Structure 1
């Protein structure tokens, strides 16, 4: 039996939502190269911020306007002097660089993954 199986109710607890990147900055105080990222998750959630170590594959300018998938119901997490309010999702490539999880077509900001 696979011990990693979860119940549907466990998955349903995650709020994985689509949002659009509206602002980015280089996170100068981070130990490892990272960006500060602000994402519009729609009218209900508004703009939330996070930090991400994605500088290997993305310039912060190219992130503006990109739709991403984020987990929006984790508690805030202090990362150095910055408070992260959601988790940006992605996948590691062969060199352990993070490829951001996105949509292949536009979706309304704040829409929850089903």
Structure 2
């Protein structure tokens, strides 16, 4: 598989955060996050965005998600998608977003 084929095999979509709660069972501070992915429906993830964001800061934000990596349990919560982010200078995670609003479920290419 070429590097391009490997990248192309990951289905990356735009979603909107609809609900956020603290994942109290997580070893490291994390949130339980519900994301509307348009035609793909609502999916969940557990993510370590607690240093920069309060739950209310995240609701309504568009985010970039890998949606075809399978699901797994993280601290008792099913994580169905990977919400993409990057590490800030302070070592905290910053979520990736769009430059302007795009339709939910839009494919990233």
Question: What TM-score bracket applies, with the shorter chain setting the length?
Answer: over 0.9
List structure 1 runs of 4+ shifted beyond 3 angstroms.
none
CA RMSD of aligned residues (A): 0.9
Larger Rg: 1
Out of 41, 47, 64, which is 1:46 matched to?
41
Aligned pairs (5 A) from 1:1-114 = 6-43=2-39, 45-114=40-109
Structure 1 residues 45-80: Cα deviation after superposition (integer angstroms, max 9, x where no partner): 100000111100011011110000000000101112
Q: Secondary structure at the match of 1:62?
A: helix
In the TM superposition, residue 7 of structure 1 has moved relative to its aligned partner by 2.7
Q: Secondary structure at the match of 1:108?
A: coil
| Structure 1 unaligned blocks of 5 or more | 1-5
Give the TM-score of the pair, scaled to structure 2. Answer: 0.95
Q: How many residues matched?
A: 108
| Structure 2 unaligned blocks of 5 or more | none
Q: Secondary structure at the match of 1:99?
A: strand
Give the TM-score of the pair, scaled to structure 1. Answer: 0.91
